Amino acid sequence: MPEGLIVKALSGYYYVKPDTESGDYALSETGTIQCRARGIFKKKGISPLVGDEVIYSLTENGEGTVDEILPRRTELIRPPVANIRQAVLLFSVKEPDLSLILLDKFLVHIEHAGLEPLICFTKMDLIDPQDTATRNEVEQAKQLYERIGYQVILTSAENELGTDQIREELNGKISMFAGQSGVGKSSLLNKVIPGSDLNTSEISMRLGRGRHTTRHVELIELQGGGYVADTPGFSQLNFTQLGVDDLGSCFREFNEYADGCKFRGCTHLHEPGCKVIEALETGEIANTRYKHYQQFYQEMKDEKRRY
């Protein structure tokens, strides 16, 4: 039976791109087969996801049926997408201003999901040439995350700054673009993937965020190989899917010190002999990152009490 990749899901249909040539059956203009899922999935409480590698069969009306979902390497609940390898996190430096606490919250979720983050600071063109304070803030943030081990790219959809570098990082992978609403995600995607003709949003200055313009998850095929999942923007994230004991491991710079802590299951908050706290005191762990860890830990404890 033929295999393929679900590149789009909409209104109960799954659009599957075949792994091989179409043979004697017709494909849509997008090179996909419109499929329904077998009823057995619903009985088992399973839903096919965009990004799933599937086995399908053809029906007499020229459509198809998704018969089997092959094992997933990764799975996200929000947005619902499978087999993503890389998350491109877009955070604007202006309109809205750069939010490192929100970036760290995204990084926690991405690390927990087992994805490799690629950080992009967008809208660099909006920084006034005389605004040295903002430029220094952005450069310091770039250096901070690069020291931790993340790759950081400075970008501008207006000037096409960084677009070639992003395109190179997307080749051969299934990647996801995500970030706070209004950071110019769709605008940058249009530059990175010419002809994608994605919707763009305007910033609501009153709310400090953009309108949600992406309505469904869809994989966009790249000329150099690989796919990009265009996913809805977020205005907030919560930790309901993450256990409090997992939080420390999602701060990757903590990991090289955590094994040396005196107590097993150390929270890195107050325990004697905590190597993470020692690294903080010697400047090996950034104070801003540690403060965000404290804040997220308390937020998770508060959420747990509410449920």
Q: What's the Cα-to-Cα distance from 238 to each of 32, 83, 158, 235, 302, rounded to whole Å?
A: 35, 22, 32, 11, 11
Phi-psi category of residue 83: left, alpha or beta, with phi > 0 → left and psi -120 to 50 → alpha: left
Q: How many angstroms separate the CA atoms of 154 and 165, rounded?
A: 10
183 marked as part of a ligand binding site: yes
Question: What residue spans of 113-176 are helical by DSSP H?
Answer: 132-148, 163-170
What helix, strand, coil percent values describe the chain, rounded to 5? Answer: 30, 25, 45
pTM value? 0.83
Torsion, Cα of 59, 64, 69, 70 (10° steps): 90
C-alpha distance from residue 112 to each of 75, 203, 255, 304 (Å):
11, 30, 13, 18
89-121, pLDDT tens digit by residue?
Answer: 999 999 999 999 999 999 998 999 889 999 999
pLDDT at site 60: 85
Two tokens at 7?
């590149």
Asked whether residue 301 is marked as a ligand-binding residue, the answer is: no
> Residue 7 corresponds to which amino acid?
V
Q: Is 186 annotated as a binding residue?
A: yes
Mean pLDDT, residues 194-215: 47
Q: Does the annotation list 185 as a binding residue?
A: yes
125 is in an annotated binding site: yes
Q: Cβ–Cβ contacts within 10 Å for residue 60, how many?
A: 5
287 by DSSP, 3-state: which?
helix
Domains and CATH numbers, the chain: 3-71 (2.40.50.140), 76-230 (3.40.50.300), 244-306 (1.10.40.50)
CA distances from 45 to 4, 7, 40, 48 (A): 22, 21, 9, 10
Task: Indicate the pLDDT class of residue 279, thresholds 50, 70 and 90.
Answer: very high
196 labelled binding-site residue: no
179 is in an annotated binding site: yes
Question: pLDDT tens digits for 2-34?
Answer: 999 999 999 899 999 998 754 545 566 668 999
273 is in an annotated binding site: no
Has 35 been labeled as part of a binding site? no
- What phi and psi values does residue 63 have, to the nearest 5 degrees? -100, -160
Is 124 annotated to bind ligand? yes
Q: Is 268 within any annotated ligand binding site?
A: yes
100-112 vs 287-306: helix crossing angle, rounded to 10: 70
23 labelled ligand-binding: no
- For residue 276, say whether it is annotated as part of any ligand binding site: no
CA distance 97 to 182: 11
Q: What is the pLDDT of residue 61?
A: 84
